[in-house]
Chains A and B, each alone.
Chain A
Amino acid sequence: MSFKITSSPHNRISRSTSEIMLLVVVACIPGIVVQAMLFGYGVLVQLLLAIATAWLAEAMVMRLRNKAALIRLKDNSALLTAVLLAIAIPPYAPWWLIVIGTLFAIVIVKQLYGGLGNNLFNPAMAAYVMLLIAYPLQMTQWLPSVSLQPESLNLFDAVCAVFTQYSCSGFSISQLQTGIDGVSMATPLDTIRTDLAAGKTLTESLQQPIFYGIAGAGWLWVNLAYLAGGLALIKLRVIGWRIPVAVLGSLFAISLLSWLAAADTNPSPLLQLFSGATMLAAFFIATDPVSASTTNKGRIVYGVFIGLMIFIIRKYGGYPDGVAFAVLLANMAVPLIDYYTRPRTYGHKAKGAGK
C-alpha cells in the first residue's frame, strides 16, 4: 500500500478567502438597504450591473491568462469589488458608467497588476477616481434623499433612469436632482464646500433642507448602517480593528481641532464622521487586505494617513468627497509603510529597515 505524500500542516482553520470576501459583502447589506430606502432603488440596479460585469470580466481575463476561471471567481474578490464600486457611485448614474468602472477595476487595476493579491491599488477606489476624473458630471449626480425628491421613483423608474437617464414618467435626472424648492442639490459635503467657497458661513449653509439631521438628510443613516456592518466584521474577526479605528480616530481628532479653532468654516467632527462615505471607507474600503498595510503597526499608520487625507481633501480638494483619493494615496505609501514597520523577528535585535 502506498500513500500520497502531503505537506504539513495537515489541518487548517476552516474559514477560507471566499468566505471572508463573502462576509464582507454580506456586511454591506444593511448599508445597501438603507441607501436604497433613502436614496432610491438605483443602487440595486447598479449592483446588478456591476456584479455581472465583474464576473464576466474576471472570467474573460482568466481565459486569456490560461488559468482556471472558476476557482478565481469562487474567491469572491471580484464580487466584492463590484459591490463596493456600485454603492460608491451615484445611484442614477447612467449604466455605462458602472460598466466602464467595473471593467477598469477588474481588468486594469487588478488583473494587469497580476491578479488578486498583486494589485497595488484598491480596484474599486481606483475605478471610482478614474470615473470621477473622466466623467465628473455623471459622477456627481447624487439625488437628495427620497424625502426631498419632488417625484418618488419606484423600482421601474430606477431601471429606466439608469438605462435612459429618464424616469418612466419622463423626468430627467437633472430635474430629479432639483429639490422641492427648485434649488439643485448635491451631497451635503459638496454643498458645504460650494457654500463656503461662495462666502457663506457654515451656519448659513447648514440652514438648507439637505442638512436635516446631524450629517445631512439620509447620510447619517447610511453611515450608521455601514458602521453596524463594520462592527460586525470586527466582531467576526473578518477585519482587524486597527485600520477602522485609526481612520475614524484621526479624522475625528483633526476635525475636532479645526472645528474648535474655527467653527464657522469647519464642519463638526460628527458631520465629518457620519457624512459622505466615511464609514464605508473606514470599514470596507481601507480594510481591503490586498492594498492595505500588512503589519500591525503599519495598519495604524495607514489608517491615520487615510483619516488625515480625507479631512484635507474634503477641505481643500475640488471633489465632493475625499475618500477615494485618500485611500489611493495611502495605497501608494503602503510598500514604504510596510518596509519601515516590519515586526522584530524573534531573537533579532534591530528593528525596522536594516537587518
Chain B
Amino acid sequence: MPLTLTLTPNFSEPGKRYFRAFSPGDDFYEMLIEAHRDLSDEQSAMLNAKLILLLANHIGDLSVLREALGHARDGV
C-alpha cells in the first residue's frame, strides 16, 4: 500500500490489456452504477456505507484514510 493517497488514475485489471486510457476507469464506473441497479435510495446508501467499510479495511493505513476523508469532506 502506498503511504499517501493515490490521486492519479489508478484503475486496471491484472492480465488485461487496455488500448484506450479511459477504458479501465469506465469499466469501474459501470460496475459501480450497475451494483446499485434497482435499489431504492435507502438501499443504495446502505450499499455505499458497506462498500466504504470494506475498502477502508482493505487500505488499512489510517494516514491514507485520513487524507481521503479530508478530500471527500472538502466542499461538501
**A and B physically associate:** no
